Structure 1
Amino acid sequence: MYGPDGPTLRELAVQALSSVEHGYDLLAPKFDHTPFRTPDSVLESVGRELAPAGPFADGLDLCCGTGAGTEVLTGLCRNSVTGLDFSAGMLDVARRRVRPGAGPTIAWVRGDARALPFTAAFDLVVSFGAFGHFLPRELPTLFRQVHGALRPGGRFAFPVLAPPRPTHPAYWTLLGFDAVMRVRNALWRPPFVMYYRAFRLGAVLAELDRAGFAVELSALAAFGRRDDGSPRARLVVARRLSPPPAA
């Protein structure tokens, strides 16, 4: 599947029946040859949108995978860039493909985004395509962790694509995928959490507000607008307020 360099159907099946962590360890060598990897067009658009607010001192790529977003940060940060992921296999690939250069230092950390080992360490946190791995009830913890990892005034930025309408085949594809994953997780352990339709923008904005962020939305102009005039893609930029909210 996905061409000669991508995973086979058997490899995808083995991954899907594994835990999230082990599944991505298995997929890591071929991950960049799958549709699961964030497209360069999204990465580049986010980089262009954030550039006028920079340069930033230190940045974190949350759930960095093979490091595509980390590369974006190397063009936005002057001191250091850190990629964090809980898959050792993904980090191994990231280390090989994102080489240190004349810009910021690069560090790789294996860790859980729901228990970040950082306190007020970054001016910019980005994340690309990882939120389907978090259940809605986990978002408050996730956002509090990001809030604590940012310095006062620091930004948490991530793109959000407009969901397809019911008249589009992609709507039914994503609906079917999520339904299959729910059945799989009801029948098989360990669970593999990946739900494309669980990350709802309205709920996300409310949780960011509760976590102590001031949120701004901007359209990613490269993706145009839908027939009703709404953007096809937005950038969420959540700025950490100080002091942090009470637990």
Structure 2
Amino acid sequence: MRSSEGPSLRDLAVQVLSSVERGYDLLAPRFDRTPYRTSDRLLDATAEALRAYGPFGDGLDVCCGTGAGMRVLKPLCRGRIAGVDFSAGMLDEAREAYPDAELVRADVRALPFVGEFDLAVSFGAFGHFLPAERPTFFAGVHRALRPGGLFAFPVAAPPRVTSRWYWRLAGFDALMRLRNAVWRPPFVMYYRTFPLEAVRADLAAVGFGVATVALEDYGRREDGSPRCRLVLARRA
């Protein structure tokens, strides 16, 4: 989970005992050297899949962190590129990597945009939202898009119950629930609270038309099913 240039175990312990915002402020300078950053392989597969739906005008990276999603937006969008996150530390890192982007500090559950973007993307942040918060979050993205605008994000296939990864993720979520039951402030980060069918229903409930496509560049599992799907939520 770590590299020699990434955060130490002590750094990670301090992060997880902080609030989500404070934790990411602390981790920001080393975040891109952790496995938590979305891989370039997944970013490139997403960008390739979105080419068929573009080009786009203005693009927004929701929960942008250090700006990994800008790698997707820049070749697809002809207009302005913006990112929004609530961690000042993460935005500082994004500003260094993408000095031409418009970066806004805000809680994405109350996005400060109305009808300004043609494409919105998000990567690796949905574990920070409890299921009850998803409708508010999705409604904010819906408002931020122009009519016909697209909200796109990847969702990985869940690991099988018989796999090692299933039990690792289940164990992590159980530990986080225990931590949040006995320690304040809470640190919301769960791996198994974003099932595709529930997400589709929440998106449709706020007015999106929802489709999915397989991310073929990300490969398929042994049974032929895609390892990852791209959710395409379009504002009518």
Shorter-chain TM-score tier: over 0.9
SS in structure 2 at match of 1:68:
coil
- Structure 1 CA distance, aligned partners of 2:219 and 2:113? 37
1:162 and 1:52 map into 2 onto residues whose CA distance is: 23
- One-letter amino acid matched to 1:54: G
Secondary structure of 2:78's aligned partner: strand
Q: Alignment partner of 2:110: what SS?
A: coil
8 A contact 2:43–2:71 mirrored in 1: no
In percent, how many aligned pairs have the same letter?
A: 64
Q: Following TM superposition, by how much is the alpha carbon of 1:228 offset from its aligned partner in structure 2, in angstroms?
A: 3.0
- Displacement after TM superposition at 1:41 (Å): 0.4
Deviation at 1:23, TM superposition (A): 0.1
Q: For residues 162 and 116 of structure 1, what CA distance do their matches in structure 2 show? A: 28
CA contact (8 A) 2:2 2:34 kept: yes
Determine the structure 1 residue equivalent to 2:23.
Answer: 23
2:37 equivalent to 1:9: no
CA distance in 1, matches of 2:235, 2:5: 41
Say if 2:142 is the partner of 1:158: no
In the TM superposition, residue 57 of structure 1 has moved relative to its aligned partner by 0.7
Counterpart of 1:42 in structure 2: which amino acid?
A: L
Correspondence for 1:103: none
CA distance in structure 1 between the aligned counterparts of 2:195 and 2:161, rounded to whole angstroms: 16
**SS of residue in 1 equivalent to 2:154:** strand
Partner Cα separation in structure 2 for residue 114 and residue 99 of structure 1: 25
Worse-superposed segment, 229-238 or 177-186: 229-238
Secondary structure at the aligned position of 1:158 is classed as: strand
Q: What residue is the counterpart of 1:196 in the other structure?
A: 191
CA distance in 1: counterparts of 2:27 and 2:53, whole angstroms: 35
What amino acid is aligned across from residue 188 of structure 2 in structure 1? V
2:136 maps to which of 138, 141, 145 = 141
| Letter of the 2:231 counterpart | V
Q: Per-residue displacement from partner, 1:46-95 (whole Å, max 9, x unpaired)?
A: 00111122111100000000001013211111110001000000000011
Displacement, 1:226? 2.1
1:98 Cα offset (Å): 1.9
**Alpha-carbon RMSD:** 0.9
CA separation in 2, counterparts of 1:119 and 1:56? 17
**Aligned residue number for residue 213 of structure 1:** 208
| 1:85 corresponds to 2:80 | no
Q: TM-score, normalised by structure 1?
A: 0.94
| Aligned counterpart, 1:72 | 72
Which whole-Å CA distance do the structure 2 matches of 1:147 and 1:48 have between them? 23
Where do 4+ consecutive residues of structure 1 move more than 6 Å? none
**Does residue 46 of structure 2 align to residue 51 of structure 1?**
no
Q: How many residues were matched structurally?
A: 236
SS for the counterpart of 1:238 is strand
CA–CA separation in structure 2 for the residues paired with 1:40 and 1:166: 28
Residue type at the aligned position of 2:136? T
Contact in 2 for aligned 1:161/1:232 (Cα 8 Å)? yes
Q: What is aligned with 2:60?
A: 60
Which residue of the partner structure matches residue 245 of structure 1? none
Q: Please tell me whether the aligned partners of residues 51 and 76 of structure 2 are also in contact (alpha carbons under 8 angstroms).
A: yes
Task: Report the alpha carbon displacement of residue 32 of structure 1 after superposing the two structures with TM.
Answer: 0.5
Aligned counterpart, 2:180: 185
| Matches of 1:223 and 1:73, distance apart in 2 | 18
- Give, in whole Å, the separation in 2 of the partners of 1:125 and 1:38: 16
Offset of 1:231 from its aligned partner? 1.0
Q: Secondary structure at the match of 1:79?
A: coil
- Structure 2 CA distance, aligned partners of 1:149 and 1:130? 18
Match of 2:120 among 106, 109, 125: 125
Structure 2 unpaired stretches of 5+: none
